[in-house]
Structure 1
Amino acid sequence: MKLSVVLPAYNEEESISHTLLSLHSTLKKYNIPHEIVVTNDNSKDNTLGVLEELSKQIPTLVYYTNPGPNGFGYAVRYGLERFTGDCVAVFMADMSDDPEDLVKFYNKMLEGDYDCVFGSRWEKGGKVIDYPTVKKVINRVANFIVSVVMGMRYNDTTNAFKLYKRETMEGIKPFLSPHFNLTVELPLKAIVRGYNYAVVPNSWTNRKFGESKLKIKEMGSRYFFILMYCLIEKYFSQGDFKKKSQAPKKLVSR
């Protein structure tokens, strides 16, 4: 099964080399057929130039420049419309995610034939390194609210690092979120629409270069909008968007 890895990149010239080289070497080490799809989100620094040079070293790297509109969600969606694999993961360009965890996600999907594999930094076996205190408090409160409202036990919905089968990704379209609320939209739609999933502990490490693109003050209402949208779909859509299961064979008596 071919794995696609989609990375949105905005002004990541200092981080992107380490991230892509580590990602490629890890997937190559485990003989995982893959492609690495980077969306340069109209960066103002030399991210594009770095990608051009890296493409000479990494044969599985493809990259695009998103002309606009720009933003995290738009950049991820740009990549999700262009990947060619049988499954696709969203991976952060700042190396906050661990390529070894991605291998665990991939193997878990293969072993259980899951539609999705979600990471959790807060379950046993997960860990965070240098996570800002204020951001952590907001994260835990937000995820608690999502879990209670949606009636589920999964505790890290806002974690962008997740893996989906191609059929799952097609089944949760159309996408609505232009910003970081896409990280909530994708898993909640998958859950509401009946796709099965496994949860695997993963690690998160704070970026060493550059600055986070997430602006918490700007995102509250956008997260709330997506949460309410998925809640309405869950209770009022009458199953119109549910995963289509194979109909049982009809028995014919003779």
Structure 2
Amino acid sequence: MKLSVVIPAYNEEESIPHTLRTLYQTLAKHGIPHEICVTNDNSKDNTAGVLEALKAEIPTLVYYTNPGPNGFGYAVRYGLERFTGDCVAVFMADMSDDPEDLVRYYNKMLETDTDAVFGSRWIKGGKVIDYPEVKKYINRVANLIVRVLMGIKYNDTTNAFKLYKRETIEGVKPFLSPHFNLTIELPLKAIVRGYTYEVVPNSWTNRKYGESKLKIKEMGSRYFFILMYCLIEKFFARGDFNKKSTAKPAKAVSR
């Protein structure tokens, strides 16, 4: 099963060399057939030049430049429309995600034939390193709201780092979110539409270079919009968008 890794990148010239080298070395070490798909989101620094140089070093690297509209969600969507693998993960350019966790996601999908694999930093085995306290508080409150309103047990919906089968990605289209609210749109639509998923612990490490692109004050209403959309679909869409009847009931299993 070929794995695609979609990485949105905006002004990441300092972070992305280490991220891509470590990711490639890890996937190659484990013998995982893959491609690394970077969307340069019309960066203002030398991200494009760095990616072009890395192509000679990393044979599985492909990159695109998104001319616009720009934004995290648009950049991820650009990659999700172009990947060629049987499954696809969203991975951060700043190395906040651990490539070894991605290997665990991939193996879990192979073992269980599940439609998606979600990580959680907040279950046994998960961890966060240098996580800002204010951001952590907002994260836990936001995830609690999602859990209560959607009636789910999964506790890390807002983390973008997840793995989906190609069929799952096709099944949650059309995409609505232009910004970071895409991080909850993808898993919530998958859950509401009856796709199966497994949950495994993962880690998160704060970036070493640059600054986070997430502006919390700007995102509240956008997250709320997507949450309300998924809630309305869950109770009123009458299964019109659900996975075909051959699907197993959606489940979540924590390890």
Question: TM-score normalised to the size of structure 2?
Answer: 0.96
* Distance across 1 between alignment mates of 2:238 and 2:70: 34
1:95 maps to: 95
* Distance across 2 between alignment mates of 1:145 and 1:7: 28
* Distance across 1 between alignment mates of 2:203 and 2:28: 21
Per-residue deviation, 1:245 = 2.6
Q: Aligned AA for 1:199?
A: V
Per-residue deviation, 1:122 = 0.4
Q: Secondary structure at the match of 2:26?
A: helix
Q: Deviations over 1:200-227 (max 9, x none)?
A: 1000000000000000000000000000
Q: Deviations over 1:54-90 (max 9, x none)?
A: 0000000000000000000000000000000000000
Q: How many residues end up aligned between the 2 structures?
A: 247
* Distance across 2 between alignment mates of 1:159 and 1:246: 29
Per-residue deviation, 1:246 = 3.1
Q: Secondary structure at the match of 2:118?
A: strand
Q: Secondary structure at the match of 1:157?
A: coil
Per-residue deviation, 1:27 = 0.2
Q: Aligned AA for 1:125?
A: G
1:159-198 matched pairs, under 5 angstroms: 159-198=159-198
* Distance across 1 between alignment mates of 2:181 and 2:123: 22
RMSD of the TM alignment (CA)? 0.7
Aligned: 1:156 with 2:152: no
1:38-117 matched pairs, under 5 angstroms: 38-117=38-117
Q: Considering only CA atoms, is the larger Rg found in Structure 1 or Structure 2? A: 1
* Distance across 2 between alignment mates of 1:246 and 1:200: 25
* Distance across 1 between alignment mates of 2:208 and 2:200: 25
Per-residue deviation, 1:152 = 0.4
Q: Secondary structure at the match of 1:69?
A: coil
Q: Aligned AA for 1:213?
A: K
* Distance across 2 between alignment mates of 1:179 and 1:21: 27
Per-residue deviation, 1:182 = 0.0
2:206 maps to: 206
Q: Aligned AA for 2:236?
A: F
1:252 maps to: none
* Distance across 2 between alignment mates of 1:242 and 1:71: 28
Q: Aligned AA for 1:217?
A: K
Q: Deviations over 1:6-45 (max 9, x none)?
A: 0000000000000000000000000000000000000000
Per-residue deviation, 1:167 = 0.2
Aligned: 1:243 with 2:235: no
Q: Aligned AA for 2:134?
A: V
Q: Aligned AA for 1:174?
A: P
Q: Deviations over 1:143-189 (max 9, x none)?
A: 00000000000000000000000000000000000000000000000
Q: Secondary structure at the match of 1:50?
A: helix
1:130 maps to: 130
1:4 maps to: 4
1:251 maps to: none
Q: Secondary structure at the match of 1:209?
A: coil
Q: Which runs of 4+ in 1 moved over 2 A?
A: none
Per-residue deviation, 1:101 = 0.1
Q: Which runs of 5+ in 2 are unaligned?
A: 248-255
Q: What is the identity percentage for the equivalent residue pairs of Structure 1 and Structure 2? A: 84
Q: Deviations over 1:101-128 (max 9, x none)?
A: 0000000000000000001000000000
Q: Secondary structure at the match of 2:27?
A: helix
Q: Aligned AA for 2:238?
A: Q
Question: TM-score normalised to the size of structure 1?
Answer: 0.97
* Distance across 2 between alignment mates of 1:245 and 1:77: 27
1:220 maps to: 220
* Distance across 2 between alignment mates of 1:96 and 1:69: 25
2:142 maps to: 142
